[in-house]
């Protein structure tokens, strides 16, 4: 086998990686803009990265009273992962944080981080 075939295969793999990364960033941006369309509330974001294994990112939208309205979760091993709406039982941010305490799955940890961030933003706004 010639070196040119190996270099060509690496080039194709790299190009595919770039295209799939662009596609994933577009999905991230679309989900973010979908949540920003809700003018009244707080958005939290959480990410869990692992050296090996699947990672996860999550967005949580809560209203002014801290009730969770929407959760979006992306978890997977590659750039093929997309955000999916996650149905959680209705509740408030503190209830969700308590329910997710001690979870080890990347997706649930990302949701917990997102809920904590949304709650922190809510608390910051109350001080103002």
- Residue-wise pLDDT tens digits, 91-106: 888 888 888 888 888 8
Question: Is pLDDT at 14 greater than 90 in this prediction?
Answer: yes
Q: What pLDDT is stored for residue 63 in this prediction?
A: 87
Check whether 22 has a pLDDT greater than 60: yes
CA dihedral 78, 84, 88, 94 (to 10 degrees): 70
Domain ranges for the chain, please list them. Answer: 3-127
Q: How far apart are CA 44 and CA 3, in angstroms?
A: 48
Q: What mean pLDDT comes out for the span 97-122?
A: 86
Confirm if 18 and 10 have CB atoms less than 8 A apart. no
Predicted model pTM? 0.75
Non-local CB neighbours of 27 within 8 Å, separated by 6+ positions:
74, 82, 83
Host H or E run for residue 27: helix 3-36
First vs last C-alpha separation in the chain: 68
Query: Which is more confidently placed, 38 or 126?
Result: 38
pLDDT at position 4 over 60: yes
CB-based contact 68:62 (threshold 8 Å)? yes
pLDDT value at 128 more than 60: no
């Amino acid at each position: 086998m010639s070196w040119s075939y190996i270099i060509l295969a690496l080039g194709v793999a790299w190009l595919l990686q770039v295209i799939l990364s662009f596609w994933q960033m577009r999905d991230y941006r679309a989900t973010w803009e979908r949540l920003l369309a809700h003018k009244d509330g707080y958005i939290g974001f959480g990410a869990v990265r692992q050296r090996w294994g699947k990672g996860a990112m999550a967005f949580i939208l809560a209203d002014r009273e801290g009730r969770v309205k929407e959760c979006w979760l992306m978890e997977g091993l590659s750039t093929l992962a997309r955000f999916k709406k996650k149905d959680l039982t209705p509740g408030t941010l503190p209830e969700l944080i308590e329910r997710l305490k001690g979870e080890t799955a990347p997706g649930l940890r990302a949701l917990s981080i997102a809920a904590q961030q949304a709650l922190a933003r809510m608390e910051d706004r109350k001080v103002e």
